A and B are shown apart, each in its own frame.
Chain A
Amino acid sequence: MSTSTSARRAPAAGRVDVRKTYKLYIGGAFPRSESGRSYEVYAAPRGSRGSTPVFLANVAKGSRKDARNAVAAARKAVGGWSGATAYNRGQVLYRIAEVMESRRSTFVEDVRIGEGLTPARAEAVVSAAIDRWVWYAGWADKFAQVTSTVNPVAGPFFNISAPEPTGVVALLAPQESSLLGLVSVVAPAIVTGNTCVVLPSRQRPLPAVDLAEALATSDVPGGVVNIVTCHTAEVAPWLASHRDVNAIDLTGTAGVEDLAWGELELAAAESVTRVLRPAGRGPAAVEEDFTAEPGTARMQAFVETKTVWHPKGL
């Protein structure tokens, strides 16, 4: 088992425990943080038994430079991924669901321990996450049909508007829903042809590391999804102000201390970065319910509209 640690599963007698090093996922590779830092991750407390937190793992603590490298990797991947046919992207997303299905037990265990769920509930969450990939995979070659328009104009022209990917998207993934929420923000961003840099849940990053391994062994080109485990409040401002980031999703600001989403939106405005605000009203962000059917809003948040004029022939 790749994710077994001494805290979770004791090794068989006479066998040395194979400990796992939790690393970042940048450009299709698994580097350590350039800062050399890591931080401790604990299991979610459950009921009265949660008095002493159970240690789970030391996870790489990404820095602003790791985020910078991730943006560079994502930028490099934009051409190939946005240039792939929508049909092909749909197949690749479906493939991610396949690989997650075959690694199901790993995901279930990490979600159960990380989020403090019952085994049955963890199974349901992982199923929902896998189904979400399939749901978005189906949208790949339909999104443009549903959202593009033929506009009436006063002249002998066809006037057609169609969505195009915006480029590199920074995603602050939800802090509570560490797998379903993560998939629910990554899938809509990449299905339309964007590439992304993801800051996963700070306290529950293990499902994101598992997802990175699933992505690396599916057909997703390196650099399309880059995952930087870190302290969200430390790295997010660098992504918001980064001039080579085209859009930022602020969902993961909910529940993070010392991080006001308004400040990030302000920094993003400096380079006209698209912003997807978190749910909730006013300055206090709340995490949305990811179990509901998502709708197309998240896909629409990260596209540009291209309009072309074409003369009508005889």
Chain B
Amino acid sequence: MSTPTETDAESRARDILGVSRLTNPALSSWLQGLPGVDQVGCEARAASLGTRSVKTTSKEWAIDTAIGMIDLTTLEGADTPGRVSGLCTKALSPDPTDLSTPRPAAVCVYGDMVPVARQTLGDGSGVKVAAVATAFPSGRASLAVKLADTADAVSAGADEIDMVIDRGAFLSGDYRTVFEQIVEVKRVCGGARLKVILETGELVTYDNVRRASYLAMLAGGDFVKTSTGKVQPAATLPVTLVMLEAVRDWRELTGVQVGVKPAGGIRTSKDAITFLVTVNEIAGEDWLDPFWFRFGASSLLNDLLLQRQRMRTGAYSGADYVADDSPSLY
């Protein structure tokens, strides 16, 4: 997909909405006109997807696929260069006892840690560097600050930018502001892919999640991402389901494929496999690829590695057999 400039994004949005001027009332009536989400049905569907039984060989495939889709994340105030480079080393060699283990898709860090991550990962490792930007996690800053934040991360070598939307503006109905901010950030991203964090835990309803997804896609986001991981609830299955429906319908409508990234709260292999089942059944096989689907997680990787060891050795494994990535006091 080509990177839309401001005018591209605006004119495409006007075409889709069928209006001559992209005003807030126009955006508002289009988003409010989207079909509502059946909350009970959506949750029941998500619950039923969690009951699928995935057996040996499929499970092996699913575990390796899930590892390859992880954005290995550390977003703490206490992050140090040592911790970030440790995480990158883990991304390069997730299980030193088994070199056939796939690498995660990316490491996700704060913007100022991008140079450290870039240096440790080097070029050609296949592991991308993703940076959160735009006053993550609250998004409460002026547009100028948000754009500077983004430009800083991109110039430091980030391949992907995870931005947060202005939830205050969204919830007060000021869709035009949210739209413009995404368009502006996308322009500053240049070649970097843009993930738009909706922070679904603050959007309250599934209807809002659907509207925010459409708004992000309309503005040219390459990914819609559920959460920052700083707000509970984070990536629930029903919310991800709504977003997967949105990207599927968006491709029908415009021919443009957009990725999905649930982030936060996905800790076990079983959870991850349930998400993969959901991707396959809702969006389709085209999304079962690290380019189009990611997990924002940190502890998930260790659980997947334990499962992988269990399948390789035939014996249950333990925490002593995977790298401990909890903050060290030493």
A243 touches B314 (CB 8 A): no
Interface: A241 (CB within 8 A): yes
Does B319 contact A271, Cβ atoms closer than 8 Å?
Answer: no
Q: Are A242 and B318 in contact (CB under 8 A)?
A: yes
B319 near A242 with CB under 8 A, answer no
B128 to chain A, nearest CB (A): 32
Instruction: Tally the A-B contacts, defined by beta carbons under 8 Å.
Output: 27
Q: What residues of B have a CB within 8 angstroms of the CB of A244 in the complex?
A: 316-320
* B316 partner residues in chain A, CB cutoff 8 A: 68, 71, 238, 241-244
Determine the residue in chain A with the shortest Cβ distance to B316.
A242
* Residues of chain A with a CB closer than 8 A to B314's CB: 241
| A245 CA to B320 CA, complexed, in Å | 11
B315 within 8 A of A: yes
Interface status of A75 (Cβ within 8 A of chain B): yes
B317 cross-chain contacts in A, Cβ below 8 A: 243-244
Q: A75 to B318, Cβ gap below 8 A?
A: yes
**Given the complex of chains A and B, what is the CA–CA distance between A64 and B321 in angstroms?**
20
Q: Give a binary string over A245-270; 1 marks a CB under 8 Å from any B CB, 0 the rest.
A: 10000000000000000000001001
- 1/0 contact trace for A128-150 toward B, CB 8 Å? 00000000000000000000000
Tell me the B295-319 residues at the A interface (CB within 8 Å).
Answer: 314-319
The interface centre, meaning the residue of B314, B316, B317, B321 with most chain A CB atoms within 10 A of its CB, is B316
Nearest residue in B to A67 (C-beta to C-beta)? B316
A44 to B314, CA, bound (A): 37
Whole-angstrom distance between the Cβ of A235 and the nearest chain B Cβ: 12
Assembled-state Cα–Cα distance A243/B318 (Å):
6
For residue A71, which residues in chain B have a CB less than 8 angstroms away from its CB?
A: 316
Q: In this complex, what residue of B is CB-closest to A65?
A: B316
**B28 CB, min distance to chain A CBs, angstroms:** 49
Residues of B within 8 A of A242 (CB): 315-316, 318
Q: Kindly identify which residue among B315, B319, B320 contacts A270, using a CB–CB cutoff of 8 Å.
A: B315
Bitwise, A270-307 to B at CB < 8 A (1) or not (0) is: 11000000000000000000000000000000000000
Query: A21-35 interface mask toward B, CB cutoff 8 Å, 1 = contact, 0 = none?
Result: 000000000000000
| Chain B min CB distance to A125 (Å) | 35
- Asked whether A241 lies within 8 Å of B318 as measured between CB atoms, the reply is no
- Are A75 and B315 in contact (CB-based, < 8 A)? no
- Which of A241, A243, A244, A270 counts the most B-chain CB atoms under 10 A from its CB? A243
B interface footprint on A230-245 (CB within 8 Å = 1, 0 otherwise): 0000000010011111
Provide the residues of chain B in CB contact with A245, threshold 8 Å.
318
Can you list 23 A-B pairs, Cβ within 8 angstroms, ordered by A?
A: A68-B316, A71-B316, A75-B318, A238-B315, A241-B314, A241-B315, A241-B316, A242-B315, A242-B316, A243-B315, A243-B316, A243-B317, A243-B318, A243-B320, A243-B321, A244-B316, A244-B317, A244-B319, A244-B320, A245-B318, A267-B315, A270-B315, A271-B315
Residues of A within 8 A of B (CB): 68, 71, 75, 238, 241-245, 267, 270-271
Please give me the 5 A-B residue pairs with the lowest Cβ-Cβ distance, nearest first.
A244-B318, A241-B315, A242-B316, A243-B318, A243-B317
